[in-house]
Amino acid sequence: MTRASWRERIDTARAARIQASRTRVRRTVTHRDGAYCELDGRRLLNFCGNDYLGLSQHFAVVNALQDAAAREGAGGLASHLVCGHHALHERLEAALADWLEAPAALLFGSGFLANLAVVQAVLGDDGVCVQDRLNHASLIDAARVAGCKLRRYPHNDAEGALRQLKSEPDACALLATDGVFSMDGDVAPLRELALVTRVQRALLYVDEAHGVGVCGPDGRGSVAEAGLTTAQVPLRLVTLGKALGGVGAAVVGDADLIAHLAETARPYLYTTAMPPAQAASSLAAVGLARREHWRREKLAELVARFRSRAALHDLELLPSDTPIQPVLCGEDARALAMASSVERAGYWVAAIRPPTVPEGRARLRVTLSALHSARDVDGLVDALAKARDLSAGSGSGPAVAGRDAVPA
Of all residues in the chain, the percent with pLDDT exceeding 90 is 88
Give pLDDT, residue 394. 61
First to last CA, the chain: 41
Closest CA to 236 of 212, 213, 216, 207: 207
- The domain defined by 59-291 folds into Aspartate Aminotransferase; domain 2 (3.40.640)
Backbone angles phi, psi at 273, to 5 degrees: -65, 150
Give tens-digit pLDDT for 83-103. Answer: 999 999 999 999 999 999 999
110 annotated as a binding-site residue:
no
12 annotated as a binding-site residue:
no
CA-only gyration radius of the chain, Å: 22
Residue 271: how many CA atoms within 13 Å on its side-chain side? 18
Q: At what angle do helices 137-146 and 111-122 cross, to 10 degrees?
A: 40
Annotated domain spans of the chain: 28-53+293-393, 59-291
Q: Tell me the average pLDDT across 211-226.
A: 97
Give tens-digit pLDDT for 360-372. Answer: 999 999 999 999 9
86 annotated as a binding-site residue:
no
136 annotated as a binding-site residue:
yes
Give pLDDT, residue 404. 38
> Does residue 292 carry a pLDDT above 80?
yes
Residue 145: how many CA atoms within 13 Å on its side-chain side? 20
CATH superfamily of 28-53+293-393: Aspartate Aminotransferase, domain 1 (3.90.1150.10)
112 annotated as a binding-site residue:
yes
Give pLDDT, residue 24. 85
Give pLDDT, residue 406. 38
Give tens-digit pLDDT for 303-349. Answer: 999 999 999 999 999 999 999 999 999 988 899 999 999 999 999 99
Q: Tell me the average pLDDT across 126-150.
A: 96
Q: What does the buried/exposed string (b/e) look like for 8-26 if buried means 16 or more CB atoms within 10 Å of the residue's CB?
A: eeeeeeeeeeeeebbeeee
> Does residue 264 carry a pLDDT above 90?
yes
Name the average pLDDT for the chain: 94
